[in-house]
Amino acid sequence: MLIAQERMAQNNVYVFNVKQPATFTHTAEIRSQARSATRAGSKVLLGIVGRHAISKDKRANVRSIIVKLPYLKDDLPLIVLFRALGVVSDNDILQYICYDMTDTEMIELLRPSLEEAQPIQHRETALKYIGNRAAGTLGLPESERQAHAARLLSTQLFPHIGVGEQFNRQKAFFLGYMAHRLLLVVLGRCPADDRDHYGVKRCDLAGPLLTYLFRALYAKLRKHITRQVNAVLRPSVLRRREGYEGITNAHG
């Protein structure tokens, strides 16, 4: 017997108050799911840092906004993510988030985030910053780490908008919308969302549940087959290579 599973609706932005003590006072999050059922969803979270939060290496910048992305070992400053998407200047970033450049309250809330990202002023530097914090990039050359960061943003940041660098501008607009929603709640201009409200709930029945199960088991099977094939083929390839080098050296 299959029982329906309740979940939050995908591709919607939700802003929540966070019970203290915690790293964040407020969060904005989205579960982004592309239309293609073959690609897994990606969760993106924005959080505004609380007064007593402590990062791994230093005291966090109070009231700065950070982003949590899949496959990143550390949190990412919001402004650095904008610059990695190609929105570089502070004025352009403010326009993506505030909409009204006379809104001094919202601009003041963004000041800690802008100050935190001052050392990173170019897209290449921002991609390097992200690449250094991505999983699986240890020991790679700088150019490959930057390329890996660009692929990460292409596939894991808002895949419901599109996959590819041609969608970076649309993703920057959506990132600004998320930050705007977050700041509206922080300023008390909009109420936070309710996790238990039935309007934000969806129920997965037999079809989607079987799809998720098959996708997970198929990925596990594929990894297992890959390991087995490599275990069989690699020793024979090495032996052939050693034999070829031995013949070459003998004739040399």
Q: Is the pLDDT of residue 37 over 90?
A: no
Q: What percent of the chain has pLDDT over 90?
A: 49
β-partners of residue 46 are: 28, 67
- Phi and psi angles of residue 47, each rounded to the nearest 5 degrees, phi first: -135, 140
pLDDT tier for residue 20 given thresholds of 50, 70 and 90:
confident
Strand order in the sheet with 65-68: 14-17, 24-32, 42-49, 65-68, 76-77
Nearest to 86 by CA among 162, 172, 161: 172
244 versus 82: which is more confidently predicted? 82
In this structure, what token pair is assigned to residue 181? Answer: 């929603």
* pLDDT value at residue 149: 93
Nearest to 162 by CA among 12, 153, 212: 153
Q: What is the pTM of this model?
A: 0.78
Which of 78-92, 123-137, 166-180 has the least mean pLDDT? 123-137
Task: Indicate the helix (H) or strand (E) that contains 66.
Answer: strand 65-68
Which of 51-60, 82-91, 120-129 has the least mean pLDDT? 51-60
